[in-house]
Amino acid sequence: MTALLLLPLVLPFALPALARRALDRLAPAAALWAITACAVVLAGCSLAALGAFVLTGLLKLPLFAGLGELIHPLHTASDLVVLPAAATSVGVLAVCGWTLGRSVLHQTRAFRAARAEAGSGPAAGDLCVVDSPHPDAYALPGRPHRIVVTTAMLRSLDGAEREALFAHERAHNEGGHHYFLAAAELAAHCHPALRPVRETVRLAAERAADEAAAACVGDRRLTARAIARAALAGQAARSGRPAFAAAATTGPVPQRVQALLAAPRTAHRTGRRAAALLLACTAVSCVAAVTGTADFHHRVEIAQGEEKR
């Protein structure tokens, strides 16, 4: 059981490299779905493994063994392994809960401030213009979705580039990319190895919006120019927007511009291999977590006298 439950804690360390490989070989929208789903599942499996370690350690204590109605000793690995693992798991879960709670509070405040700022300026449909000397533009989710752009950003681009920028931000809202960014942020607080995956998910979201904007305006070179000029102008922009509010000025812009100037990526054998590696890593983690948890439950039932060994 112990060895099985260690797998969901180790496998997330492989995801950052696999995620970058998948993004390089898959279409951006497909990579966004695959990487985010794998990160969430791996995070859930790691939490399940930590929870199983905590419960195992607690049931080794007489008080909790009595509460669990154990009439036989719970057969597990040596107490020299189980009890330190349980104590470590408690500490890890406490840190995860603390950092996640702080992040939620911070992002909630940032979201409310952004919605209030968007509501203070003139609006035309889903476009909100904010009077600010800092060039910035981003997709703000909510009811209704908004595209927030500052007057300084509008002055930095010509008419065609503005349309490409608006198409990019509109693609974020229409694609629900804030859900992917929020899920990646949640996963990052569940396992430290998943923190680098946040940036990969963000890049995948930006690449997907780049492709959607290029298709909308019908000019990949114009879209690349708009993204590059917006990013250059927005270097001095404030970072007060919530982390799940996607913006065209984020991510490795030169890489995104290079991808726009190249031909659109189509599915091929290496892309399928990258997706298969992601799926295999996630599947192994799921099987290990489910099997380890089921084995733990079976051992508890034996200790309760409900089943024979």
Global model pTM greater than 0.85: yes
pLDDT in tens, 246-304: 888 887 888 899 988 887 766 566 777 888 889 999 999 999 988 888 877 777 767 77
pLDDT in tens, 215-236: 999 999 999 999 999 888 877 6
Measured CA distances, 100 to 4, 103, 200 (Å): 27, 5, 20
- Report the pLDDT averaged over residues 115-127: 77
Asked whether residue 170 carries a pLDDT value surpassing 80, the answer given is yes
CA distance 193 to 196: 7
Asked whether residue 6 carries a pLDDT value surpassing 60, the answer given is yes
Measured CA distances, 211 to 10, 74, 180, 207, 222 (Å): 35, 56, 17, 6, 12
Residue 34: pLDDT band with limits 50, 70, 90: very high
Asked whether residue 79 carries a pLDDT value surpassing 70, the answer given is no
pLDDT of residue 250: 80
Mean pLDDT, the chain, rounded, equals: 85
